[in-house]
A = this chain, B = another copy of it.
Amino acid sequence: MSVTLETLRQLPFFSKLSQDELAEVASQVHERTFRRGEIILLEGEAPEAVYFVVHGQVRIYRLSPEGREQVLKRLGPGGVFNLVPVLDDGPNPASAMAWTDVTVYAIERSHFMQIARAYPALAMAVLTDLTTKLRDMTALIEDLSLRTVEARLARLLLTQAAEEEASPRRITQQEMAAQLGTVREVIGRTLAELQREGLIRVERHRIIIVDRPGLEAKAML
């Protein structure tokens, strides 16, 4: 499978472009695929391209010297990443890993800048994406700084449940820990406690929310 106008148009980023413009953009796009677990790019590297997620999920994260990870964002189809370093020509601020098998469309740095300048609709899409990410990150900062792991986990479970169906891969405790800025054991213990309190039920693979209002209270929503 290779780059098609159809799939390109389905990316929110390009949905506003005319047929001609799309064709022009398409000529600059490279399709790339990654196996689950593969690293797409590393923080600190010079940015090569902007990436658009077509299939699968991508995990954007940072690694501490001691090897702990903090997930900044998980992206599904339609998501974009590596925009910031391409725009300001600094090093990549975070690493990206294929969380499932993934197909992305990549546009080279220089080509992207070119078409972004040419098509105001694209520039607008860039703006929208950046503002959304700033909001998300503000929320994450508040969480990390002002909330307990229990509250963060409660919130994660609630949002996770919402996007349950869409998610093609079940989430491990290790992964929850990376998203919440803590370690696996703490997640395990906290899940056990939430279960003891009757708010959730931990089954084979999934976690079932028993007392949603109770969980929401913990999440401080």
Contact = CB atoms under 8 A, between A and B. Distances in A.
A1 interface: no
B64 A146 contact: yes
B141 A144 contact: yes
State the number of copies, please.
Answer: 2
Interface in A10-57: none
B70 A146 contact: yes
A135 B93 contact: yes
A214 interface: no
Contacts of A188: none
Interface of A: 62, 64-66, 68, 70, 72, 83-84, 87-88, 90, 93-94, 123, 126-128, 130-135, 137-142, 144-147, 181, 220
Given A84-B134, A145-B181, 11 more contacts: A66-B146, A70-B141, A70-B142, A70-B145, A70-B146, A83-B131, A88-B128, A88-B132, A126-B127, A130-B131, A140-B141
